[in-house]
Structure 1
Amino acid sequence: MLLSAVFFTLPAGLAAAQTLPDHYPADYADLIEKANEEGSLLIYSNMGPENWEPLIAAFNQHYPDIKVETLDLGPGEVFTRYRAEAGTGVATADMLAAGTIGDWIQAANDGLVVDYETPEARFLPEWSLPMPGVYTFSADPMILMYNKVLVPEELRTASMEEFFANITAHPDVFKGKIGTYDGQFAFGESINFAFVRHHGDKAWEWFDAIGPSARPGGGTGGMIEKTVSGENTASYFASGPVLFPRLEQGIGQIIDWKFPSDGTPVFLRGVGITEKAPHPAAARLMLDFILSEEGQYAVAEGKLTAYRPGVKPEGETSYSLDEVIEEIGGEDKMILIDYDPDMLKEHDAFIARWAKAFGM
């Protein structure tokens, strides 16, 4: 467990004269006053300091009197810890930010998050508010990766259909050397579920064909290391935001990558205010800021994917969702890994079918 107590302090009163956007309610100044009186904010998330620091620094430029602390936990632990603490009356988190779709669905159904309507909602895609009180923090694309040295350029396709065909057609290159997430666990399940929903029976045919060549397990960091070393020649459904910053460190000489051209999975990382929040006003300010244009630029600076329309961060290895959509040729080429309740209803059958295809 990593406690990342990230505190930023600026001279008191710096934000006192700030001008609020026209679309904010007239009484928003009262909310700011209450938040300043609360003076602190605790967030449970499965993100590290490198993701939070730019966002908290930007937030504190406006609200220097609010001390922000983040606790870095496993994605499932974000919810189990909050449930345990809230159930016993112990002081707990004001906000949750995590990437486990099933946990968010259950949390919303159980009333663990506040149905807060942000003034920023009018500027956001409809899909970014999947359930009352659950907003989207970032929308992260899943990509294909290849080892340039071991995979000939003509086999480094952007098409998932061609990628799967190449695996079976060229076992000398790919057999036993394909990395991906384990679809039996929450993150991998949600990606695979959305992919199958999009492609239908063809997806199962592909999985059945390439299952013996794949080595599911671990996260994107491990996929990168194995693809760089040559232990894997390719990986699919890797997280783009994990890879992109590392390209600046020289691995672009070895790694080639693609947005899948026939459907790029996009993972929606959730964020919400807890029903038992000790500092509800501060939590509302932070949620509004995360969803604002300035906040989304700070999300991008924290190496995640800003999705608010019009946000386009600078830098060759920093992508917004607008830029991903441009690259893949339109929103219809995007597979949203959304909050489909069928994923929970079909969980056992889906896991069994996936495990059969991959021999697990």
Structure 2
Amino acid sequence: MKRRAILAVAALCGFAALTGCSSSGGETPNAYAAKTDIPTAAAMDPAILEAANKEGSLLVYGEANEASMKPVLAAFQDQYPGIKTSYISLGGTESFQRYLNEKATGGKTADVIVSLQGANFLDLVKRGDIQDFTPPAAAPLPDFAKLAPGVFAMELNPVMALINTTLLPESEQPDSLEALARMSGDPKLAGKIVTYDGTTEFGYTVNHAYIAKAGEAGWKILDQLGPNTKVEASAGPMFNKLLQGEYTMSYFQSGATRPLLTGATAKVLNYRFFKDGTPFMPRGAGATTGGKSPNAAKVFVNFLIDKAGQTAGCTGGFAPYLDGVDCPVNLAKVTEQLGAENINIATWDEALINDSPAFKNRWKEAFGR
């Protein structure tokens, strides 16, 4: 009974963090604590910076929880104290829908959107709702970080397998998606494996990235996994049901849950990166054309994609990719672990939009949806 109570409390805390809620009782593991360690962002055009300070405020929408964004916002506020910054955590698709609805009515809306939702970002670009602006910090970025005109990656989020070690000890855990597929019919696992619904935007994007690299061999693995896998629409239910023992393990789990693996929770759950199943999901940032602070938005996007933003982001559990940004999980360290030949960085292009209907239908066949 006592163990069950501990797990229930931990699950509630995990859900609170994932949904952007807060709880009392001391600092969270990703509390902002190292202001002096944040480098200064690349210099902006003085005219843009002057205009940004006159605007004096900034509104950001994104699906990352508030605890994860806290160190990023705090570091930005330190460097640009004249720009009062607010952040609203929303579901990925909701960020875009809310922006469009508010813009249509002429109300105050997001100046910047920060999201993993590639197809939704590409839609905004087509609509002319993203400023076609290249920040100074974008010049040295690798090509994979330039996601679309005006949209740049603030992090590369490697998905993972999350496992309840009380149900499946580390010595019995698969080390690849292919191995998990072979094990999936075992009574220990059948029906106790979970992943994202592949018809949701994030679920589709991560499956699309996996298949883009794995091809037909990947579809065979998904066909094997599908009958033994349950699906959820978002990370919160997956995480909490894993913690409570309703599920034994997940795959393609968002890396946003890594910061929750502390204390009592870390004694129950561990994570793995599969060599054949770890797509890196870019979290894009773009300055909107419908916001009231277009210049402050440019300053913020520049900050996010520079070492300043990525250093602060590491404190919140994001995964930086720039050379010289040390972090427990970053592109360099995961590449070293998996091997360069196994790195799979999702791309945002027309195929992501054009493939959607047929791809989702095939996914539904594999998963019996």
Shorter-chain TM range is 0.7 to 0.9
Residue 266 (structure 1) shift? 0.9
SS in 1 for 2:161: strand
Number of residue pairs aligned between Structure 1 and Structure 2: 335
Larger radius of gyration: 1
Which of the numbers 311, 316, 330 marks the counterpart of 1:297? 311
Write out per-residue CA displacement over residues 141-183 of structure 1, whole angstroms, 9 at most, x where no aligned residue. 1111222232254431221111211223xx1221111011110
- Report if the CA contact (8 A) 1:180-1:235 is conserved: yes
When normalised by structure 2's length, the TM-score is 0.84
CA distance in 2, matches of 1:276, 1:241: 28
Deviations 1:237-278 (Å, cap 9, x if unpaired)?
A: 112231x22222232322232111124111111110111232
Q: 5+ unaligned residues in a row in structure 2: which ranges?
A: 1-18, 23-38
* TM-score, length of structure 1 as denominator length: 0.86
Aligned with residue 124 of structure 2, among 104, 107, 113:
107
Counterpart for residue 10 of structure 1: none
CA deviation map 1:175-197 (0-9, x unaligned): 11101111011110111111112
Written as runs of structure 1 = structure 2, the 5 A alignment for 1:1-360 is 24=43, 28-168=45-185, 171-242=186-257, 244-313=258-327, 318-330=328-340, 332-360=341-369
Shift of 1:20: 7.6
Stretches of structure 1 lacking an aligned partner (at least 5 in a row): 5-18
In 2, distance between residues paired with 1:37 and 1:234?
50
For residues 122 and 305 of structure 1, the distance between their equivalents in structure 2, rounded to whole angstroms, comes to 20
In the aligned structure 1, how far is the partner of 2:325 from the partner of 2:40?
20
Contact residue 3 and residue 71 of structure 1 kept, 8 A: no
Cα RMSD between the aligned structures? Answer: 2.2
Could you list the runs of 4 or more consecutive aligned residues of structure 1 that deviate by over 3 angstroms after TM superposition?
Answer: 1-4, 152-155
Question: What secondary structure sits across from 2:300 in the alignment?
Answer: helix
Residue type of the partner of 1:255?
A: L
Output the CA distance in 2 between the equivalents of 1:172 and 1:136: 41
1:282 to partner: Cα distance:
1.1
Q: Tell me, in whole angstroms, the C-alpha distance in 2 between the residues paired with 1:86 and 1:152.
A: 51
Give the distance between the partners of 2:210 and 2:360, measured in 1 at CA.
14
Instruction: Return the letter of the residue paired with 2:339.
Output: G
Secondary structure at 2:280's aligned position in 1? Answer: strand
